[in-house]
Amino acid sequence: MIFISFLAGLVFGIGLIISGMANPAKVLAFLDLAGNWDPSLIFVMCGAIGVGFFAFLWAKSRQTTLLGAEMKLPTATKIDRRLVIGSAMFGVGWGLAGFCPGPALVGLGMGLPKATIFVVAMLAGMALFELLERRRGG
């Protein structure tokens, strides 16, 4: 199972590099609608959404993964204040840094200093969230 997980992560990381999603300059150019906009990442996103849509439809009908592990799909359907705020924070971070978590880890592996700063900040934010959740009782 560990080897398959490693292999899946490796394929995902290579896909991020090939698609340009691990390059913060390309991501920021995609997000710069008023400047020198680069729409090429739309095709990457549409491809990912298309594959994900059908993969989740198929996964919903299964009890186990292809490797026999328990299928664990999200069950929440409510759009609440926490989801909206978290999504906005994600978008602002993506727009400021040009990274989201997956590409940031790829950038960290590539030795990009900006990715290192992003990953450290991301881990600090995750730790702060866990601390606040424990205090809240969630």
Taking residue 59's Cβ as centre, other Cβ atoms within 10 Å add up to: 14
Give the tens place of pLDDT for each residue, 4-47: 999 999 999 999 999 888 899 998 999 899 998 999 989 988 99
pLDDT for residue 137: 83
What would the two tokens of residue 135 be? 């205090």
Per the structure, the complete domain to which residue 116 belongs is given by 2-136
What does the H/E/C string look like for 38-87? CCCHHHHHHHHHHHHHHHHHHHHCCCECCCCCECCCCCCCCCCHHHHHHH
Count of domains forming the chain:
1
Residue 138 has pLDDT above 90, yes or no: no
Residues 6+ apart with CB under 8 A from 71: 59, 62, 63, 64, 65
Whole-prediction pTM = 0.76
Give the tens place of pLDDT for each residue, 79-121: 999 899 999 999 998 888 999 899 999 999 999 999 999 999 9
Residue 61 has pLDDT above 70, yes or no: yes
pLDDT for residue 122: 93
The answer to whether the CB of 99 falls within 8 A of the CB of 107 is: yes
Which position has the token pair 């069950």? 75
pLDDT > 90: percent of the chain:
65
The answer to whether the CB of 118 falls within 8 A of the CB of 97 is: yes
